[in-house]
Amino acid sequence: MGGADGSAAVGGARMPRLRLDELLGELQWRIDAARGTRDRVHSLLEAVLAVGRELDLAQALHRIVEAAADLVDARYAALGVIGPDGHSLSQFLTVGLSEEELAAIGPPPSGQGILGELIRDPQPLRCPVLSEHPASVGFPPNHPPMHTFLGVPVRVHGEVFGNLYLTDKRGGVDFDADDEAVISTLAVAAGVAIDNARLYEEAQLRQRWLRASAEITRSLLSGAPRLEVVELIARRAGEIAGAELADVSVALAGPEERADELTVEVALGGAPAARLGVTVPVDGTLSGAAYASGSPVTSDDLACDARYPAGPAGRFDGLGPAVAVPLGTGAGYGRGVLLLARAAGQSAFGPDETGPLLGFADQAALALELAERRRDAEQLTLLEDRDRIARDLHDLAIQRLFATGMTLQSAGRLIDSPAAADRVARAVGDLDETIKIIRSTIFGLRAHSEPDRGLRARATRAVAEAQGTLGFAPRLSMEGLLDTDVPQELAEHLVAVLGEALSNAARHARATRVEVTLRALAGRVALTVTDDGVGVPEGGRRSGLRNLAERAERVGGAFTVAPAEGGGTRIAWEAPLGS
């Protein structure tokens, strides 16, 4: 019961009512504080679980920033990822700013001012008034005002990955020790989540590289042309690495030589026509540096890299980070370099990317080398088989035919009937002609066994070499006894004319299809090269065409240049076989 003075009886004693109200208020405050602590711990646990479940690295980083802002009721939050140099920020993820506000502010911070303070000294930092901190350098134009500040480093395996930055706690109050403890706990969980996401990302990337290697090996084993496989290597590497440009350059040197130049054999992305077939020096180029060192070489900005000024101007405009990786080991013809370049502003190629890329390049180069060895073995088997056929024809078929002809000639003298004798004489003539044909076939087979001498092989090689500069494989058809009926001097003219015609098509025609026909029939040899390009321009330089005409005159032949049916140009060169 209450007394007259407003007191209350408790346990037989009297206590002033004011004191009782204070006790009840304090008890209620403690209950509310405990409930708030419980709710905060519960929110922290939920945030830790949400962050830990995310396996995509980009999504995990964004989830971390959102969770940090929610846990301490901050208006703005950001995560700055420290770059490879250890002194600047390579990524800056924000929460609380709209796309329009971010666009108005301009480029993200690089790690100056108070943001850089945590990079230099990775310890939790609280600041009641952001502008009063000694390291503060102010805000860029159009940046919203920010006052209170809390920064906490995020470590992965003991190394600082980045920093969490929080500003403007709602309600206008300062960040306190509890906020710092909560964000520090979240930072520990974030480090574990980032590490897991990295491992998952690396495993996924490794699996993509392995699938690409298997695809390349299958293509080679199925007999796909080398250039087609090289293009597949460049395409898959560019896709996996997120590159805008993917080029493969090859060294045109002997087996034991170190090349001085590299020629772009495959060009994908950007303006490939401007790069395909371009020859660049080994010294002073990114690809050349990888070729010479036998190891990956990176550039943070390919378009402005002063170390690699060589090459046609403007080839790398709009490109940024790049990496050149050698294809194959040792010097020699055909050893290549894979060049990948990303768009300007994208992340640089780090060790975690160049390692798997180098492994992929080594596997691709090994597959190419094994396929080349297999083709060499098949070619050797084919040549040996041709030699055997030539020997059998010479030792068996020709001898039998010759013996049969001699028998018929002898029998013809004993035949009294003029008509029968005439028929026997014609049969002997047919046998002689058959022997000539077989001899020509033998010579052709042996010429195939000596690739440098046969016109067929030389023409095939010239067409194959033009594929690199044209960007596609010309179509080639041949007819007649090219290796036996065409004299050596005339064959030299034909090979030179073919090379000049293909070079003109590559440099000037801008064609998408080239057809080559070579025939030795009816006492004449004829070469035609037809493309679907832009044609011969009026008033253009014709020194190369004059050279072809002079060669034709020199051997008593003819040379014409005319528009092709359906557009393009048709070059025709012919000469008598007796020339």
Please indicate, yes or no, if residue 544 is contained in any of the structural domains.
Answer: yes
- Tell whether pTM > 0.75: no
The predicted model gives 152-165 an average pLDDT of: 87
Retrieve residue 238's tokens: 């560019």
Shared-domain flag, residues 309 and 430? no
Specify the pLDDT at position 573.
Answer: 92
Long-range Cβ pairs for the range 251-257 (8 Å, 24+): 251/282, 251/291, 251/331, 251/332, 251/333, 251/334, 251/335, 251/336, 252/333, 253/331, 253/332, 253/333, 254/332, 254/333, 255/331, 255/332, 255/333, 256/331, 256/332, 257/331, 257/332
Instruction: Decide which of 421 and 511 is more confident.
Output: 511
User: What phi and psi, each to the nearest 5 degrees, are found at residue 103?
Assistant: -65, -35
Could you count the other beta carbons within 10 Å of the beta carbon of residue 82? 22
Q: Same domain for 489 and 557?
A: yes
> Backbone phi, then psi, for 364, in 5-degree steps?
-65, -40
pLDDT at residue 331 tops 50 = no
Do 152 and 236 lie in a common domain?
no
Give the whole-angstrom CA distance, residue 459 versus residue 126: 78
How many separate domains does the chain show? 4
Q: Mean pLDDT lowest for which of 105-119, 121-135, 357-371?
A: 357-371
pLDDT for 556-568, tens place per residue?
A: 999 999 888 888 8
Asked which of 449, 466, 492 is the last residue of a domain, the reply is 449
Strand partners, 248: 266, 338
> Which range among 373-387, 454-468, 519-533 shows the weakest confidence by mean pLDDT?
373-387
Decide which of 120 and 328 is more confident.
120
Domain CATH code at residue 480? 3.30.565.10
Stretch among 137-146, 304-313, 428-437 having the lowest mean pLDDT: 304-313
User: Quick one: DSSP state of residue 124?
Assistant: -
pLDDT of residue 10: 45
| Domain-embedded: residue 28 | no
- Look at residue 354 and tell me if it is in a domain: no
Q: Is 24 domain-assigned?
A: no
Tell whether the model's pLDDT for residue 570 goes beyond 80.
yes
Give the pLDDT score at 443. Answer: 60
pLDDT digits (tens, 9 = 90+) for 279-311: 888 888 888 888 888 888 888 887 777 666 555
Do 282 and 229 belong together in one domain?
A: yes
- 303 and 189, same domain (yes or no): no
Residue range 391-404, pLDDT digits in tens: 666 666 666 776 77
Per-residue tokens: 561: 């240049």
Q: Name the residue range of residue 77's domain.
A: 33-199
Statement to judge: residues 445 and 457 lie in one domain: no
One domain for residues 189 and 45: yes
pLDDT at position 366 over 50: yes
Lowest mean pLDDT among 98-112, 204-218, 344-358, 451-465: 451-465
Q: Is residue 393 part of a domain?
A: yes
Give the Å distances, CA to CA, from 33 to 21, 29, 111.
18, 6, 38
**Residue 25 within any structural domain of the chain:** no
pLDDT at residue 65 tops 90 = no
Asked, for residue 549, whether it belongs to a domain, the answer is yes
Residues 250 and 264 placed together within one structural domain of the fold: yes
For the ranges 127-136, 213-222, 508-517, which has the lowest average pLDDT? 213-222
pLDDT tens-digit profile of 532-552?
A: 888 776 654 555 678 888 888
Tell me the two tokens of residue 231: 């293009």
- Output the six-digit token pair for 127: 């600041």
Instruction: For residue 334, name the pLDDT band (cuts at 50, 70, 90).
Output: very low
Do 284 and 315 reside in the same domain of the chain? yes
Task: Judge whether 563 and 523 are in contact, CB under 8 Å.
Answer: no
Q: Is residue 114 part of a domain?
A: yes
Same domain, 38 and 182: yes
Whole-number Å distance between alpha carbons of 112 and 8: 64
pLDDT over threshold 70, residue 248 = yes
pLDDT value for 34: 47
Segment 501-521 shows an average pLDDT of: 85
3-state secondary structure of 279: strand
Percent of the chain at pLDDT > 70 equals 75
CATH number for position 107: 3.30.450.40
Q: Are residues 467 and 444 in the same domain?
A: no
Considering only 65-79, 367-381, 513-527, which range has the smallest mean pLDDT? 367-381
Q: Are residues 565 and 530 in the same domain?
A: yes
Task: Quote the pLDDT of residue 213.
Answer: 81
